[in-house]
Amino acid sequence: MTRSALDGLVVVDLSRVLAGPYATMLLGDLGAEVIKIERPGIGDETREWAPPVDAAGTSTYFGSVNRNKRARSIDLGTPAGVEEVRELIRGADVLVENFRAGYLDGIGLGYDAVRELNPRLVYCSITGFGAGAGAHLPGFDLLIQAVGGLMSVTGPSPDQPTKTGVALVDVITGLHALTGILAAVIARSETGEGQHVEVNLLSSLLSGLVNQAGAYLGAGVVPRAMGNAHPSIAPYEVLPTADRPLALAVGTDVQFRELAAELGVPELGSDERFATNHARVANRPALTEILTARLATASADEWVERLGARRVPVGPINSLDGAFALAERLGLNPVVEIDGHRSVSNPISLSATPAVYRSAPPSLAEPRA
């Protein structure tokens, strides 16, 4: 039987909604035993975030981040429930939680208390704005996108701030949590001691803003929303064709010359206004006008075929059915099915210790008698 990368790692999952459950699902995929603790009779909030629901009647939101977990219903509002969790912690390697800052300290399950139970425990706390001055602020993805700057650079124009179509900040934070947890587990192999891993949504978003944050910090530029255009690359945007739009992601001068040649305007490749990326960014409106006129002479599918043959980065604007179909055609095996539950495969491919899919998202467990 193939060994999994995290075989033997026991995770107590006290997290809810998205960032924490996403991180713990990935740990489960990599072989960890994940014990998901939920409130009796209620469970994770996302169990009720529906429609849609899958064939088994499970919220697809909940199902998207909770496979490979074993459910336990425990009431943390009772001494017996707290003691039950403490018993689980004694045999665990990792604990993940996203309660409001201070709550677990108040019931004896904070980091300082549980490290006395299990000094090897890696304890990961996920908050919205940290455990200090921002501890009282609500950590919802939409709010973080707003106050953290993401909405200011997303959307058709600066006066129409727009959220992303998925809770992207939660996903980024979940990945940061996963990275911190694995780093702490590796460090423990040397020191024998666990540690407190802390991640928050705001810091994760600022890190995830990468070049936009770099523009502000390094050059004093406050980026603004530009629709589908890119502040530093051209043409790198969505443009119309004879029937529907397509995405052009031209990142090099060689690619631009190939684009110009296929569009029937090879002279653009040597035109001083467009010969370099810097010049194309400076003259974006003029370039966009020319490209739009040329692209209007054929369909999106035809341009994808013709430009693709020249290795120009181009693609259609797919809906999710088209996106999954593309991944299937490319042999990426994007879907896993467990007991009739379909979800997105773990995107990490390991040659010796691949991801495993042992169980579908659990039903809400009954409390122990």
Catalytic residue among 29, 75, 170, 253: 170
Is residue 170 part of the annotated active site? The answer reads yes
Question: Rounded to whole angstroms, what are the CA distances from 325 to 193, 322, 334, 357?
Answer: 46, 5, 9, 22
Q: Radius of gyration of the chain from Cα atoms?
A: 24
Question: Rounded to whole angstroms, what are the CA distances from 246 to 47, 73, 291, 317, 369?
Answer: 37, 48, 12, 6, 59
Backbone angles phi, psi at 169, to 5 degrees: -65, -40
Cβ neighbour number for residue 177 with a 10 Å cutoff: 27
User: CB within 8 A of 182, min separation 6: which ones?
Assistant: none
Identity of the amino acid at 288: T
- Which two three-digit tokens encode residue 162? 């727009």
- Which two three-digit tokens encode residue 95? 């604990």
Contact 255, 311 (CB under 8 A): yes
Which residues are 330's β-sheet partners?
Answer: none
Residues designated catalytic = 170
